[in-house]
Amino acid sequence: MAFPARTDQIEEIRVHSDIVDVIQRYVPLKKAGRQFKACCPFHKEKTPSFQVNPDKQLYYCFGCGAGGDVFKFVMQYENVEFLEAARILADRAGLPFEPRSSEGGGPATPRTDLYRLHEQLAAWYHANLKEAAAAEKARQYLAERDLTAAIEPFQLGYAPPPAQALEHWADEQQIPRPLLEQAGVLLPSDRGGPPFDRFRGRLMFPIRNEQGRIVGFSGRILDASSPAKYVNSPETPLFKKGRLLYGLDRARQTMTDTRQALICEGQIDVIRCQLAGLENAVAPQGTSLTEGHAALLKRYADEIVLVFDADHAGRTAALRAAEPLLGESLTVRVVTLPMGEDPDSLIRGQGRDALASLLHDAPDLVTFQVAGLKKQGELDHAAGRTRAVRAILETIRYAPSAVQREDFCRSAAMQIGVSEEALRRDMWQQERPAPKRAMPPPPPPMSTPHDFPPQETKLIELMLAHPEVIELVHQYVPPQAITHPACRTLMEVIMTAPDPHELNLAAQLTQYDDAIQRLAARLQMESRPIAGDEFTCLHAAQDLVFNLRIRQLARRIQQCREHLTAATGTAARELENERAQLFTVKKRLEALWIEKKWDQAVPILEWDD
C-alpha cells in the first residue's frame, strides 16, 4: 500500500512532531526514567502500562498491545486514516500538506473534496454575513444578543435567502452539484422544480470536528414565527452528530488541562461561555448526549458538569444525558440555573462570575436528582418515596464502577432519609444487567508474547539493539528458519536498511499492516543493549542462531515422519534417509550448542539444507 503523499512531506511532518509533545495533548504523561507512562487511552486500566519512548519516538501499551509511531497514535486516538492523521500533525506543526492521488493529480479521497467544500462554504457564508445587504437582519440579531465579537473567532455566517443563490455561487466556483447534494446543503425540490439551499436565509454556525475541520453546519432562522429554529446538516461521511460536540476543537486543550468539561444545550450558550473565559464548554449537535459523545469526552475529561435549563424538561434532559456519561465512569455534576435563565442570559445579565459560582457549587448527580424529586413532592408520601427510590436506583445502575455505586447509595440514603442498608438491599433485589453500551472494541492483543515465537522476537530485539550482529544473522539464519510472517518481514526490513545504526523502523513500516507495526513498536520498546564481557551481543546472537536452526531441523524431521506414513518403496527409503541425516545434524548441533563451540558449528550451519 502506498500513501498518496510524498515521502519527504511525511518525513518533514515526523521530524516536527515529537511523540511526547503530541501524546501529551491527549493523555497526561508522567516521567518514568528515560520514558513516559500513563494509563492506556485505548483500554480501561488502573495501573499504567502505556509507555512512550522519546528516544525511539514510539508508544506501546503492554496491556492491550497498541503501539506504533506518532502517525499511528493519531490514527488510533482520533479514529482517522493515515492521510487525516498526517494532516492533523502537519496543521499542529504549521506545515503545508496537500496529498495527491496515486496517479499524481486530483484530491486523495472523496472526503478531501467534502472537507474542501465545507471550508469554501464557510468562507462564503462568512463573507455574506459581513458584507451582504441581505444579512443586515442577521448582523442586527447578533448585535442585540451581544455576539458581534463572536463573528470572527467562530466564523459565523449567513446563507442568502434566494433559493438558487447557492447554485449560482457553486457554478462560479466550478463546484459540481452532486458534491453539494452529498454535503446535504443542496436539496431537490419536492415539487419537481430546481433544487434549493437547505440553509437559505439562516444565520450559519460552522460545525467543526475535534481537530478543527469543518464537517457541517447549523443554521438558525431569524424569523421568530418559523417552527424550526435550527436546521442542521444531515448525516454525511463527515457529519455524524452522535460523535460531534460543538466547540470541542476550541475546548479540548482546556478540558485536558482541567480534566473537566462543561456541557451546554446549544451553540450560543457555548459561544457565550467560551467568550467569557469558560473555555471548556461544548454542546451536543442537535441530539441528546450519546455513548459516542461520552467516549469522546472521556478522552479529555474526568468530570462533566451539565448546564441545562431549570424547568422540568431541562432536569429530565440532564438525567438522560448523565446515563451514557456514568456508563463511561465519568463523574457527573449538574448546575441548577435560576428559572428562565440559560448560560447565555445569565452571563449577559449577571456576568461570568454568576455562572462560575454555580459551576463551583454544582451538586453531584444523585443530589441533583433527589432535590428534583423533593421539589415534585415525591418524598412526602409512601408511594412517592417508592417511585423516587426506583428512579434513583435506575440512575445508579448506569454506573459500572462498584465504588461509584457505593458512593451514590450512601449519598442517596442520607438525603432520602432511609438506611443505607435498606437502599442497598433494594438495589440488590432489583439488580439487572446495566444497559449495554456500544464500546469500541479494544485493539486485538496482537503483540502479547504468546502470539509470536519468542526466539524470533528476541533475535529482532537483538538486531535493533546491536546492529553489529546483523551480518551474522544474515549469514546463518535463512528465511525458512523464521516461522512467523511478521517476524520475517521485520528481519528483512532491518537487514536491507542502508544504515542499520540509523534505522527508523517506525518510518520504514508506515505502509505495512497493523500487526507488523504493533510488533515493531513492542520490540523496539523492549530492546535493550547487552552490557558485559562474559556474555556479549555476539554470544546472544550465536545462542539464538543455534536455537532457531535446531527448531528448523526439528520441523523438517517431523515433516519427513508425516510423509513417511503415506510413502512406499523408493520414496519411503529416501524419506527415511533424509530423516536420519537431519536427525544426526540436529543432535550434533545440540551438542555443540551445549558445549558453546560455535566455531565447530559453523560448517554445519553453512550446510545447504
Q: What is the CATH number of the domain that holds 145?
A: 3.90.980.10
Q: Is the pLDDT of residue 385 over 50?
A: yes
Report residue 129's pLDDT band, with 50, 70 and 90 as the boundaries.
very high
Which is higher by pLDDT, 511 or 89? 89
Which segment, 358-367, 368-377, 432-441, is predicted with the most confidence on average?
Answer: 358-367
Q: Is the pLDDT of residue 507 over 80?
A: no
What is the mean pLDDT of the segment spanning 492-501?
81
DSSP H or E segment with residue 197 = strand 196-197
Q: What is the CATH number of the domain that holds 57?
A: 3.90.580.10
Residue 99 lies in a domain: no
pLDDT at 98: 67
List Cβ neighbours of 116 (8 Å cut-off, separation of 6 or more).
107
Q: Answer yes or no: do 232 and 250 share one domain.
A: no
**The three grid cell numbers given for residue 233, joined into one nine-digit string:** 446538516
Residue 541 contacts residue 73 (beta carbons within 8 Å): no
Which segment, 178-182, 225-229, 384-388, is predicted with the most confidence on average?
Answer: 178-182
> DSSP letters of 201-213?
TEEEEEEE-TTS-
List Cβ neighbours of 337 (8 Å cut-off, separation of 6 or more).
307, 308, 309, 310, 314, 343, 346, 358
Q: Answer yes or no: do 87 and 123 share one domain.
A: no
Residue 435 lies in a domain: no
Q: Answer yes or no: do 472 and 413 share one domain.
A: no
What is the mean pLDDT of the segment spanning 89-118?
70
How far apart are the two ends of the chain, measured CA to CA in Å? Answer: 34
Residue 199 contacts residue 231 (beta carbons within 8 Å): yes
Q: Is the pLDDT of residue 479 over 80?
A: yes
Q: What is the CATH number of the domain that holds 575?
A: 1.10.860
Of 239, 265, 295, the residue at which a domain comes to its end is 239
Residue 103 lies in a domain: no
Q: Answer yes or no: do 455 and 529 share one domain.
A: yes
Which is higher by pLDDT, 144 or 439? 144
Q: Answer yes or no: do 423 and 456 share one domain.
A: no
Q: Answer yes or no: do 259 and 395 share one domain.
A: yes
CA gap 14, 71 in Å, rounded: 8
Question: Does residue 506 sit in helix, strand or coil?
Answer: helix
- Tell me which residue of 229, 203, 217 sits closest to 140, measured CA to CA: 203
Q: How many helices (H) and strands (E) does the chain have?
A: 26, 16
Q: Is the pLDDT of residue 436 over 60?
A: no
DSSP state of 448: S
φ and ψ of 32, to 5 deg: -140, 90
Query: Does the global pTM surpass 0.85?
Result: no
Residue 42 contacts residue 134 (beta carbons within 8 Å): no
- Tell me which residue of 197, 205, 183, 166 sits closest to 114, measured CA to CA: 183
pLDDT at 500: 77
pLDDT at 442: 46
Q: Is the pLDDT of residue 452 over 80?
A: yes
pLDDT at 65: 82
Encode 378-395 in three state secondary structure.
Answer: HHHCHHHHHHHHHHHHHH
Q: Is the pLDDT of residue 441 over 70?
A: no
Place of cell 492491550: 64
Q: How many residues does the chain have?
A: 609
Q: Is the pLDDT of residue 549 over 80?
A: yes
pLDDT at 303: 94
pLDDT at 469: 87
DSSP H or E segment with residue 35 = strand 35-38
- pLDDT, tens digit (0-9, with 9 covering 90-100), for 39-93: 888 887 778 889 998 888 889 888 888 888 899 999 888 877 888 888 888 888 8
Report residue 102's pLDDT band, with 50, 70 and 90 as the boundaries.
very low
- Tell me which residue of 137, 120, 286, 139 sits closest to 219, measured CA to CA: 286
Residue 440 lies in a domain: no
* Amino acid (1-letter code) at residue 70: V
Q: Answer yes or no: do 65 and 120 share one domain.
A: no
> DSSP letters of 366-428?
HHHHHHHHHHTTGGGSHHHHHHHHHHHHHHHTT---HHHHHHHHHHHHHHHTS-HHHHHHHHH
Q: Looking at the 3D structure of the chain, how many domains does it have?
A: 4
Q: Answer yes or no: do 333 and 300 share one domain.
A: yes
What is the mean pLDDT of the segment spanning 286-305?
87
What is the mean pLDDT of the segment spanning 405-422?
83
Residue 44 contacts residue 52 (beta carbons within 8 Å): no
- pLDDT, tens digit (0-9, with 9 covering 90-100), for 587-596: 988 888 888 8
Q: Which residues pair with 331 in a beta bridge?
A: 303
- pLDDT, tens digit (0-9, with 9 covering 90-100), for 330-357: 999 999 899 889 999 999 999 999 999 9
Encode 230-266 in three state secondary structure.
Answer: EEECCCCCCCCHHHCEECHHHHHHHHHHHCEEEECCC
Which is higher by pLDDT, 532 or 381? 381
Q: Which residues of 554-583 are buried (b: 16+ CB within 10 A; e: fewer)?
A: eebbeebeeeeeeeeeeeeeebeebbeebe
Residue 436 lies in a domain: no
**The three grid cell numbers given for residue 198, joined into one nine-digit string:** 437547505
Residue 325 contacts residue 304 (beta carbons within 8 Å): yes
Q: Answer yes or no: do 342 and 283 share one domain.
A: yes
Report residue 157's pLDDT band, with 50, 70 and 90 as the boundaries.
very high
CA gap 290, 3 in Å, rounded: 34
Percent of the chain scored above 70 by pLDDT?
89
Q: Is the pLDDT of residue 145 over 90?
A: yes
Q: Answer yes or no: do 210 and 318 share one domain.
A: no
Of 191, 222, 239, the residue at which a domain comes to its end is 239
List Cβ neighbours of 14 (8 Å cut-off, separation of 6 or more).
57, 69, 70, 71, 507
Residue 442 lies in a domain: no
> DSSP letters of 256-300?
HHHTEEEE-SSHHHHHHHHHTT-TTEEEESSS---HHHHHHHHTT
Report residue 147's pLDDT band, with 50, 70 and 90 as the boundaries.
very high
Which segment, 26-35, 259-268, 407-416, is predicted with the most confidence on average?
Answer: 259-268
Residue 198 lies in a domain: yes
Residue 35 lies in a domain: yes
Q: Is the pLDDT of residue 116 over 70?
A: yes
Q: What is the CATH number of the domain that holds 367?
A: 3.40.1360.10
CA gap 90, 25 in Å, rounded: 15
Average pLDDT, the chain: 84
What is the mean pLDDT of the segment spanning 385-393?
84
What is the mean pLDDT of the segment spanning 392-419?
83
pLDDT at 192: 67
Percent of the chain scored above 90 by pLDDT?
28
pLDDT at 283: 95
Q: Answer yes or no: do 345 and 323 share one domain.
A: yes
Q: Answer yes or no: do 455 and 597 share one domain.
A: yes
Q: Is the pLDDT of residue 140 over 90?
A: yes
What is the mean pLDDT of the segment spanning 268-290?
92
Of 59, 93, 127, the residue at which a domain comes to its end is 93
Which segment, 178-187, 569-578, 599-608, is predicted with the most confidence on average?
Answer: 178-187
pLDDT at 503: 73
Question: Does residue 464 sit in helix, strand or coil?
Answer: helix
pLDDT at 262: 96
For the ranges 89-103, 154-168, 404-418, 509-523, which has the lowest average pLDDT? Answer: 89-103
Domain hosting residue 362, numbered range = 243-429
